[in-house]
Amino acid sequence: MAADVVVRARRAVVGEQEVAATVHVEGGRIAAVEALDADPGGAPVVDLADDEVLLPALVDTHVHVNEPGRTEWEGFASATRAAAAGGVGTVVDMPLNSLPPTVTAEALAAKRAAASGQCLVDVAFWGGAVPGNLADLAPLHEAGVLGFKAFLVDSGVPEFGHLDDAGLRAALAEVARLGSLLLLHAEDPTALEAAPPPSGRGYRRFLASRPREAEERAVERVVTALREVGGRAHVVHLSDADAVPIVAAAQAEGLALTAETCPHYLALTAGDVPDGATEYKCCPPIRERDDQDGLWAGLAAGTIGAVVSDHSPSTVDLKRLDSGDFGEARRRGRPALRAARSGARPR
């Protein structure tokens, strides 16, 4: 059977190499990768320019699709359309913001039902670890979640509570027993309580309300729990360069700790954020130039092992663009993936 389309690229990333290749696509999937001069077999041919590189689709392991329950913030149709337009072939959905949150096997079934027939890319799911659902982790694992997300500080939505130190250890022990992974939003509530509250249009005041120390203390709490309990932990959306050596030391110690960061931390600094520009509000926040440099260094060293979007949209009114008050604006709504039109059909 002839391919639906053939793509010829003098520069294609295949495995870990850049080679010249012809890629045959059938039914929306790669059917064959052959030499550049391979016969297209009558299929339409797309020839890439010499300065264009054919890449595999990206995998984004940190995406908030808020359907069901808050579909007006984002749903599977718009989220996966944006992903496809941006070259992302797989997204892994976070357990919070949807109603119900993905903290039981029944909630996971509701999430899958909501996604059915709407997705333009592959979708997988994280489960949630919250106070009171320790017994639900095994059924969620058996139902196919890739791991579990937990917060060490207020999540921003009331139905997804955060874990104290005892809850962290209990969740980590259960996740270790299951052979799974615990993802952690690592900010420390005590450090945040000691910081000035966010209010007004000044970005510097908002930045001061989420100090570096909050991330560092929380990552240290995770390291301590790993020493005591074992298991695998992953720090999400790291923004503080001073936390990178803590992660590196834990890895050198042999602890199973990994970390990720995000494009907005690597591409933007606090100096890029105008006062009143609440669309930039996210937690942890976009920090200073030295933080950005430290994150890049952590990536180059392999301490930080992934760059993910943390795509987490909200409606415009919740970002309070009218007042520009960082204290009033929701912290959900990071400017990562953007909705885009696509001619692809839902799976």
pLDDT tens series, the chain, 347 aa = 578 999 999 999 998 899 999 999 998 889 999 999 999 888 999 999 999 999 989 999 999 999 999 999 999 999 999 999 999 999 999 999 999 999 999 999 999 999 999 999 999 999 999 999 999 999 999 999 999 999 999 998 999 999 999 999 999 999 999 999 999 999 999 999 999 998 899 999 999 999 999 999 999 999 999 999 999 999 999 999 999 999 999 999 999 999 999 999 999 999 999 999 999 999 999 999 999 999 999 999 999 999 999 999 888 888 888 898 898 887 654 433 333 323 333 33
Contact 63, 311 (CB under 8 A): yes
CATH number at residue 180: 3.20.20.140
275 and 190, same domain (yes or no): yes
243 and 122, same domain (yes or no): yes
Domain housing 240: 58-319
Query: Is residue 134 one of the residues assigned to a domain?
Result: yes
91 and 216, same domain (yes or no): yes
257 and 209, same domain (yes or no): yes
Query: What is the tally of structural domains in the chain?
Result: 2
21 and 103, same domain (yes or no): no
List, in sequence order, every residue forming a beta bridge with 260; answer none if it has no partner. 306
Query: Is residue 343 one of the residues assigned to a domain?
Result: no
109 and 21, same domain (yes or no): no
Query: Is residue 282 one of the residues assigned to a domain?
Result: yes
Query: Is residue 242 one of the residues assigned to a domain?
Result: yes
21 and 104, same domain (yes or no): no
Query: Is residue 30 one of the residues assigned to a domain?
Result: yes
Query: Is residue 314 one of the residues assigned to a domain?
Result: yes
CA–CA separation, 99 and 265 (whole Å): 29
94 and 128, same domain (yes or no): yes
Q: Which two tokens stand for residue 20?
A: 């010249």
CA–CA separation, 190 and 209 (whole Å): 12
The pTM for the full model equals: 0.88
CA–CA separation, 168 and 225 (whole Å): 7
218 and 260, same domain (yes or no): yes
18 and 70, same domain (yes or no): no
Query: Is residue 330 one of the residues assigned to a domain?
Result: no
25 and 174, same domain (yes or no): no
DSSP string, 66-125: -TTT-TTT--HHHHHHHHHHTTEEEEEE-SSSSSS-S-SHHHHHHHHHHHTTT-SSEEEE
Query: Is residue 333 one of the residues assigned to a domain?
Result: no
